[in-house]
Amino acid sequence: MFLFGQSNTAVFTAPTPFSERRAFSEQRFQLAARVRASALVRVSCERQDQQPGQRLFVRGHVTLRGPQARLRFRQGSNGEVDERYEPDVVDSALLPAGSMLDVEPPQLPRRGGEFPLAWISFVDSAGTTLSPPICVGRARREPLHVEPLFEIPVFVTLWLSARRQLLKGVVLELAGELVFRDGLVLRTSIAPGCGSFGEPVIDGEYFDTPIAERGASLPLAQHRLPAPGRGRPLVSLQMQDWNGGAAGPELHVGWLSGGT
């Protein structure tokens, strides 16, 4: 959405040749990134009343961290950056603190007289491994737990807007959503024994429980950031993964002014 001539609207001027420049107060970005997932999964097994087997219980949660947005403000004039000055840098964590997905699969039936060995892994909606199987051990009444760490590929849609506020001057606003590119699935595998490398034996079985469908989204934390007080800086945006590494190129938004 492009806004012109509003007294309370700060504007960007696109970093293009002067004759082609346009003014706008809001811009949309679609970027790829990675989210760090820290899972806690508990597994227990109980005998079924008046039935010959046991029932497997799996519960837990997945905590998400990252990605981040990095804004740079470079000083300059007449459409040229002044290299004598280091850019001002502002980093914003896009996911709200403590973002969490519940792992609450249904009770999983298991027939047979012996308590099985259990493995926990995470895959995407196509079955591609995100975290390798971890053997929890032989499930019993007391819960056993694992805490796998892995990464999830996501798409991030960001809206960056600029507004002039009466007492605060120019304020930038970040909002958007995170979309699970390939989904997230908990895979619970059970088998009477394991192979030479710790994997389930061939006659084992597994149960998949969707946590986030392909294309499912989470709202991002909204941020209001005061713009640097001096000059009309060139603003750029760069997406970062959960660990602070660049997830893509630096994108120039435009020269920031205070509106009319």
Question: Along the 260 residues of the chain, how does pLDDT read in single tens digits?
Answer: 223 233 355 566 666 544 344 445 788 899 899 999 999 999 887 776 666 667 788 899 999 998 999 999 998 877 788 888 888 899 998 988 789 999 877 667 666 666 778 899 999 999 999 999 999 888 777 888 899 999 999 999 999 988 877 666 788 899 999 999 999 999 998 887 787 777 777 677 888 999 999 999 999 988 888 777 667 888 999 998 888 888 889 998 888 876 44
**Tally of domains within the chain:** 1
- The pLDDT value recorded for residue 21 is 45
Cα-flanking dihedrals φ and ψ of residue 18, to 5°? -55, -40
- The reply to whether 2 falls in a domain is no
pTM over 0.85: no
Q: 52: alpha, beta or left, given left = phi > 0 and alpha = psi -120 to 50?
A: alpha
**C-alpha distance from residue 159 to each of 86, 132, 156, 215, 250 (Å):** 26, 36, 10, 19, 16
- The reply to whether 30 falls in a domain is yes
Residue 198 has a CB neighbour count (10 Å cut-off) of: 12
- The pLDDT value recorded for residue 80 is 82
- The pLDDT value recorded for residue 178 is 95
- The pLDDT value recorded for residue 48 is 65
- The reply to whether 98 falls in a domain is yes
- The pLDDT value recorded for residue 3 is 31
- The pLDDT value recorded for residue 52 is 65
- The reply to whether 5 falls in a domain is no
Residues in contact with 254: Cβ distance below 8 Å, sequence separation at least 6, in sequence order: 12, 13, 14, 15, 24, 27, 234, 235
- The pLDDT value recorded for residue 166 is 67
- The reply to whether 102 falls in a domain is yes
- The pLDDT value recorded for residue 259 is 47
- The reply to whether 110 falls in a domain is yes
Can you tell me the distance from the alpha carbon of 250 to that of 236, in angstroms, rounded to the nearest whole number? 6
- The reply to whether 6 falls in a domain is no
Can you tell me the distance from the alpha carbon of 178 to that of 144, in angstroms, rounded to the nearest whole number? 32
Please answer whether residues 227 and 146 qualify as being in contact, where contact means their C-beta atoms are separated by less than 8 angstroms: no
Residue 30 lies in domain: 11-257
- The pLDDT value recorded for residue 77 is 77
- The reply to whether 3 falls in a domain is no
